[in-house]
Structure 1
């Protein structure tokens, strides 16, 4: 998944075990049976039934950010536009082939260095900005809260969208790869506004105490670190590596399906021609 997706494993497929029952005539019959620890009913229905605890927390963050009045209107409607665009792509441009199981939908598998890169992105992009916003509330620094909240709002929506889409076979790999790309590009512009707020529009008082100076430079450094990290992420990972790998996987699966379909048709035609040849003899 993306650079700052939380460490959430793909949704497991229902576990199925095989039990053996003996009939009176010593025949063995295998019957699929679900494990007892699995809930007897299916998901609660719709997307909400499949949301896990971390996703419900993200929904809570999104609702709080939306109701706070700290997120601009453009950023509020951006997730709706992205969701509609992704659904249109999944139906019109890149429909799912239906051969990929939920457990094997991971597009990019990196080394330990890549996992470290993801941890750094999660810390810089999510945890530290969240601490900055909460610290701004505690200090009464409305300027800091208003500067970083749009970035957190879009990032929460990005993680939620990625986690939901990763559990649905409806979306193909190119569509899923576009989620972090679209959101990250938008967030770069949002972070640029954050940079302007803390580096240009906010000045440090002349008689500021040490804790105020440290807080001031923490905000500046955090905004700059987010801009550097996510700009690097877009131009050095998402565009040159992540997106091509998603398209390569998609078209390889399509070619394999087309080749298999052609072989099935040819074998069917050959089987039909054999009885006709026998009748002629």
Structure 2
């Protein structure tokens, strides 16, 4: 969700007999992708599709956010087919190899960005707090779409590295606007009742801390990881793969046009 799934490269099987013993060499446990945190890729995709359908049908997501994934998907396909064509093999698309600290970083982002906001939205439905639900749902919708896109792209390896790097950046930039609206709602628009109970105060502060933590985390993730670290490495690796591909597949030289042979003059017949 933070771009780590795409940064770590796709899951590809080993060649030969090792593919039976170890199905995948680029597991999320090694790459800090979301798949290692949430389990099977297909199960994650089904859950995210269910979230997206529910959020879309609830009427709580603005039209701009509903159309944003469609625009980004079309834009990514156009970039991949016209500007940044894929040259490398799936196993060469790894940009980072995550260590334990990187894994903790992704796990923390998964918990505060997906699990706790989902609990917050469900709690808002249970409490009848429509303002809390409406404020948190856009971020959760966009993040669910981003995670689904990252998992699909990482599993299918159909996009080149620059496109894979730009997707989480674009999603993160859009989600910062949603997070700003969530923070504004929890800190400035939500008011405590005249005689609040402990549960009321705890609920309000839970929303404030959760929204602020998400805003800080994804701001740091965008401006300290994706843009200065992930994006340059992705472009560097892409140009290396492109140069290597062109070196192995040089363009065929066209043979110079040879002049057509002139027909020989007919011999004069001997006079008898």
Q: Tell me what 1:100 maps to.
A: 89
| Larger proportion of strand | 1
Describe how 1:61-140 pairs up with structure 2 within 5 A: 61-97=51-87, 99-101=88-90, 103-140=91-128
- Between the aligned partners of 2:241 and 2:5, the Cα distance in structure 1 is 25
In structure 2, the residue corresponding to 1:52 is in which secondary structure? helix
- Which of 167, 174, 181 matches 2:169? 181
- Between the aligned partners of 1:206 and 1:105, the Cα distance in structure 2 is 57
- Which of 55, 71, 74 matches 2:45? 55
- Summarize deviations over 1:108-148 as a string: whole Å, max 9, x none: 22321111111111111111111101111111111111110
In structure 2, the residue corresponding to 1:92 is in which secondary structure? helix
CA deviation after TM superposition for structure 1 residue 100, in Å? 1.3
CA deviation after TM superposition for structure 1 residue 54, in Å? 1.1
CA deviation after TM superposition for structure 1 residue 9, in Å? 9.2
**What are the ranges of 5 or more consecutive residues in structure 2 without an aligned counterpart?**
24-40, 256-272
- Between the aligned partners of 1:9 and 1:177, the Cα distance in structure 2 is 11
Q: Tell me what 1:235 maps to.
A: 223
Check whether the contact 2:2–2:221 (CA below 8 A) recurs between aligned residues.
no
Describe how 1:164-175 pairs up with structure 2 within 5 A: 164-175=152-163
- Between the aligned partners of 2:157 and 2:184, the Cα distance in structure 1 is 41
1:202 and 2:190 are equivalent in the alignment = yes
CA deviation after TM superposition for structure 1 residue 258, in Å? 1.9
TM-score, reference length from structure 1: 0.76
Larger radius of gyration: 2
- Between the aligned partners of 2:79 and 2:43, the Cα distance in structure 1 is 29
TM-score, reference length from structure 2: 0.79
In structure 1, the residue corresponding to 2:156 is in which secondary structure? coil
1:2 and 2:2 are equivalent in the alignment = yes
Check whether the contact 1:4–1:121 (CA below 8 A) recurs between aligned residues.
no
CA deviation after TM superposition for structure 1 residue 15, in Å? 7.5
CA deviation after TM superposition for structure 1 residue 10, in Å? 4.2
Count of residues paired in the alignment: 234
- Between the aligned partners of 2:5 and 2:134, the Cα distance in structure 1 is 24
Check whether the contact 1:62–1:153 (CA below 8 A) recurs between aligned residues.
yes
- Between the aligned partners of 1:254 and 1:4, the Cα distance in structure 2 is 23
1:220 and 2:208 are equivalent in the alignment = yes
**What are the ranges of 5 or more consecutive residues in structure 1 without an aligned counterpart?**
19-33, 39-50, 270-281
Check whether the contact 1:3–1:122 (CA below 8 A) recurs between aligned residues.
no
Q: Tell me what 1:191 maps to.
A: 179
Q: Tell me what 1:163 maps to.
A: 151
- Summarize deviations over 1:169-214 as a string: whole Å, max 9, x none: 3310111111111101100001001111111111111200011101
CA deviation after TM superposition for structure 1 residue 104, in Å? 4.5
Check whether the contact 1:66–1:76 (CA below 8 A) recurs between aligned residues.
yes
Q: 1:208 to 1:70 in 2, by over 3 A?
A: same
1:256 and 2:244 are equivalent in the alignment = yes
CA deviation after TM superposition for structure 1 residue 168, in Å? 2.5
RCO (CA 8 Å, sep 6+): is it higher in 1 or 2?
2
Q: 1:52 to 1:16 in 2, by over 3 A?
A: farther
